Amino acid sequence: MRRTSGSPCEAARFFCMVLFTMKWRGFPRVVYLGLALSGLWGCAPSAAKSPSGGTDTDGQAKPASEEKVPLPPLEPAPAPAGVFFRARLSTPELAVDRALAAAGLPLRTKDLLSEADDGFLLLPLAELDLGGSIESIVMLNPVPERYPWAVASASVKSLESSLRALKRARVDAMEGPGGVYYFADATSQCALGRSIGPEAGRVVCAASSEALSALLPYALRGLPREALGGPTGWFELDVAPLREAYGQRAKGLRLLASVGARQLHIDHPRFDRALTEAAIALSDELGELVGDGDKVRGEFLQTERGDMQMRLGLRFRSMTSWVSGLVADWSGSMGPAPSALTDLPDTVSAAGAGVALPSSRKVKMRDILTDLGAGYLEAKKAKASDVKDAERVLRELFLREGAFVQATGPLEGAEPDPWTVYGTSRSKQDITAFLDALGRLATSNILEKSSTELADLFELQRTTERPSGAPQAVVYRYKIGKSLSKLLMARPDVFDLSKDQERFAPEGRVAVHTVGNMTYLVQARTLASVGSGLAALQNPKGRLGAKADLAAHLKTPAVLRGFSRIEGVVVPFLPWMPETMRQKLVELVRATPNGGDVPMTYTVTAERRGEGSELQVNYDIPAAFTGDVAALIALALTDAK
């Protein structure tokens, strides 16, 4: 290699001097003398040419006017063995422009970059071709126990312009074979070269020279020419190289899991046995997942008007593991939205529905978790009644069958108190027995004895209250304690709970009522709002299945599905806000361009594929939804000033 500021002959002379002064064991100096002379052949000063192709009168070469020898055509490079991750973001400038337009912001990528001083991959942003692509590749390190090798690359507008930019930044670039230039800083090793693909060239960077050397050919002449995913962006994780490298180790985790579990034993047979079973089951599942796994793929598509579609797929080549078998079993439940969802009132701001996991897939998990919880209480000398309640609660969590539904009511009134509903095919008697047992556990001091962190989690008590229009409903009063408030908040250290107990320890009502063949739990802060939710469920003015903007979504086959409008996004935060803030948030939502009425949707599908199965999660986010979110943020920031 040579510096970009030197001539080929200067580099040759330097190389020959090094050869001549070296004397490796077993090689006579005359061999190096011959190599040195052959390297200097044709580098005599009289051979220097003028810009027109002749020789200068002073016999000296002029590097700025040298005729460049044409570089050979590029040959495609295959992916090296061990590559297990690849990703691409195509036309990032267009993607950002569309997102900005959908958000209603009068900005474009060029406007943002015009004021940016930072670079990317050691090059100024102005040198990158953001109409090209940004890519990433990760491969296993050939040396076991070492971190994988990874590179990131981006399209450049011009190799010559990029080299001039490096020179202005006083970054020393060295030319290597094939017209590839190498440069570095304290943390990155980079290369700049021609590429097979639509762009003029690419800059490629890695954390080490070994990683750069191993992946550079594929980064320049392999991945850019491959069309493997969506037109906007995609990533792919290939499990095969990981299975080949770590498959045997994964199978050997059972012994380590058993030994590790023993370190957590508490000398109580029921708990210790369940803990060991759980550790072994998890280790077995991990090994089987490595054997079953095929690929994890993600795709991102953006339309001209800014609508976004995101797809995440998990594909299995066989069905040995619990997860892959579950996906295969779940595939039999694919279909349009259940009536539990389509019969909901059309005023709901968010809703979701699906089919519960098959019981056969939950039995072992249920038994292990039940023995863990109940065994721990027995070890703490809990009363037999408390242990029995814990067993009922834990087992009931796994007894759900058939369709289930969840929904959030609208933001209505001057003091919004939206209701939330959860529907299940379980009987009203089963649900109330579960809540009664949970309430008794909450008031028992066994939780406080187990850990001070579990003290004052929540209160749950059955009442004699009856909501309007539903005299048969069973109503419970709940209150979130300080300990649970701390767990639910992201930054509990910021707040002094003792100063604002009402804000951070919300309370409310939950009513259990049967409507048709579904049992519903309706929750809200006040009994009046609970009654509004029950009334909407029993006598809706309009049904969700008739909403035109959800028609296609409700017909799409899936095992899980749902949607949310802007209201549905903010409702979960309302209980933790002061009254004035709740009212202001509702005003801001209603002031968005579409009034927060445009939904984003999601579906989960499960399919059998030959001897394997595939699970896919799909999100569809309209540009209008993005615009409402951006407008809500902008309005909130403006109001805060």
Report pLDDT digits (tens) over 568-593: 888 877 776 777 777 788 888 888 88
Task: Give the model's confidence band at 282: pLDDT under 50 very low, under 70 low, under 90 confident, else very high.
Answer: very high
pLDDT at position 14, please?
40
Specify whether the CB–CB gap between 256 and 279 falls below 8 A: no
State the pairing for strand pair 149-156/2-3. Answer: unpaired
| Other Cβ atoms within 10 Å of 109 Cβ, number | 18
CA dihedral 103, 109, 113, 116 (to 10 degrees): 20
Q: Residue 164: what are its φ and ψ, rounded to 5°? A: -65, -40
- Which range (245-259, 316-330, 440-454, 537-551) has the least confidence? 440-454
DSSP 407-439: EE----SSS----EEEEESS-HHHHHHHHHHHH
Q: Return the exposure string of 150-180: e unless at least 16 CB atoms fall within 10 Å of the residue's CB, then b.
A: bbbbbbbbebeebbebbeeeeeebbbeeebb
pLDDT at position 413, please?
66
Closest CA to 328 of 619, 605, 617: 605
Task: Give the model's confidence band at 607: pLDDT under 50 very low, under 70 low, under 90 confident, else very high.
Answer: very high
Does position 623 have pLDDT exceeding 80, yes or no?
yes
Give domain limits for the chain.
2-65, 83-228
Interval 455-489: pLDDT, tens: 677 889 999 999 988 999 999 999 887 766 666 65
Interval 426-444: pLDDT, tens: 899 999 999 999 999 888 7
Report how far apart the first and last C-alpha atoms of the chain are (Å, whole number). Answer: 58
The listed range with the strongest mean pLDDT (39-48, 313-322, 380-389) is: 313-322
Helix (H) or strand (E) holding 243: helix 239-251
* Whole-number Å distance between alpha carbons of 228 and 236: 9
Task: Give the model's confidence band at 68: pLDDT under 50 very low, under 70 low, under 90 confident, else very high.
Answer: low
Task: Provide mean pLDDT across the span 3-15.
Answer: 42
Does position 218 have pLDDT exceeding 70, yes or no?
yes
Task: Provide mean pLDDT across the span 617-627.
Answer: 94
Interval 69-115: pLDDT, tens: 678 888 999 999 999 999 999 988 888 888 888 877 777 887 777 66
State the pairing for strand pair 612-621/600-609. Answer: antiparallel
Specify whether the CB–CB gap between 192 and 162 falls below 8 A: yes
DSSP 454-503: GTT-EEEEE-S---TT-TT-EEEEEEE-HHHHHHHSS-GGG--GGG-HHH
Q: Which amino acid is at 616?
A: Q
Specify whether the CB–CB gap between 192 and 183 falls below 8 A: yes
Q: Among all chains, which residue has been given the structure tokens 């579409």?
A: 594
pLDDT at position 454, please?
58
User: What percent of the chain is modeled with pLDDT above 90?
Assistant: 52
Count of residues making up the chain: 641
Interval 158-172: pLDDT, tens: 999 999 999 999 999
User: What percent of the chain is modeled with pLDDT above 70?
Assistant: 81
pLDDT at position 640, please?
60
Q: Between helices 579-590 and 623-640, what is the axis angle to 10°?
A: 130
Q: Among all chains, which residue has been given the structure tokens 């959030």?
A: 408
Helix (H) or strand (E) holding 324: helix 322-330
DSSP, collapsed to helix, strand or coil, labels residue 520 as: strand
Specify whether the CB–CB gap between 604 and 314 falls below 8 A: no
pLDDT at position 261, please?
93
pLDDT at position 2, please?
42
Task: Provide mean pLDDT across the span 141-159.
Answer: 93
Specify whether the CB–CB gap between 480 and 488 falls below 8 A: yes
DSSP, collapsed to helix, strand or coil, labels residue 250 as: helix
Task: Provide mean pLDDT across the span 190-202.
Answer: 90
* Whole-number Å distance between alpha carbons of 190 and 205: 4
Helix (H) or strand (E) holding 352: strand 350-355
Helix (H) or strand (E) holding 513: strand 507-515
pLDDT at position 102, please?
80
Specify whether the CB–CB gap between 102 and 628 falls below 8 A: no
